[in-house]
Amino acid sequence: MTPTATLLPLLWLASPALPVGAFSYSEGLEAAVDDGWVHDERSAGDWIVDQLHLSVARAELPVIARACLAARSGDATALRLLDDWVHHSRESAELRLQTEQIGHGVWAWLEALGARPHPCWPDPTSPTHPVALGMALALQTPADTPLEAALAALAFGWAENAVQAAIKAVPLGQAAGQRILRRLVAEIPDAVAEALRRADDPSPLALQAFTPGLALLSSRHETQYSRLFRS
């Protein structure tokens, strides 16, 4: 496959314009703003960078990598176990709803493209967000697409969405948002390397989702008086 044939499907899948509803979630950022944890460009950048390394690189990205490999090899059991882990790792009702609803959005997108049902997923309910993304990678990208490139593209798409949430919630200007995105671009390679290491690690502790501060903020956000986002 040519580099262009590999790159274009990744750009498509990582695009914030993908109609899966991710734009309506801030993943706790709005609650952090309400509590005063995030209040300017620096604190917003610190929050998103920390979330990249402490959550995305340790949980979502490794699950995506494992789900992609499982889908490519036809391992339905591995996909189901990954999906169960994601469900059990969501600490609040809104974070669980987020992974289910965006996962459904990815699944509906695949259906619209004629790419499902997938023989590895006979369940009528859609998989959670990272599992659905991993299966989408397996279904919509060339088989020789490097996982490193795939995870980097998806991490950048996540970063763009997080920055846009910060611009609206803090609020910040577009120039401040671009400076935060520059910070994230510099951090993504290390996050991807960590995710790949965890994806290859057979230890039951390789996948981690220990973010108690985020869990508390998410619980508060469920009853927050005024809000723009669903998480």
Residue 151 token pair? 């995870």
Tens of pLDDT, residue by residue over 124-161, are 789 999 999 999 999 999 999 999 999 999 999 999 99
Q: What is the pTM of this model?
A: 0.95
Tens of pLDDT, residue by residue over 43-66, are 999 999 999 999 999 999 999 999
Residues of the chain with pLDDT under 50: none
Residue 126 token pair? 């859609």
pLDDT at 117: 60
Query: By CB neighbour count within 10 A (0-12 exposed, 13-18 middle, 19+ buried), where does 125 fall?
Result: exposed
pLDDT at 13: 93
In the chain, the amino acid numbered 37 is W
Helices (DSSP H) in 15-146: which residue ranges?
29-34, 41-51, 61-73, 76-89, 93-112, 129-140
pLDDT at 116: 65
Query: By CB neighbour count within 10 A (0-12 exposed, 13-18 middle, 19+ buried), where does 61 fall?
Result: buried
Residue 158 has phi, psi (to 5 degrees) of: -60, -45
Identify the architecture of domain 38-221 in CATH: Orthogonal Bundle (1.10)
pLDDT at 124: 78
pLDDT at 2: 64
Q: Where are the domains of the chain?
A: 38-221
The answer to whether the CB of 119 falls within 8 A of the CB of 29 is no
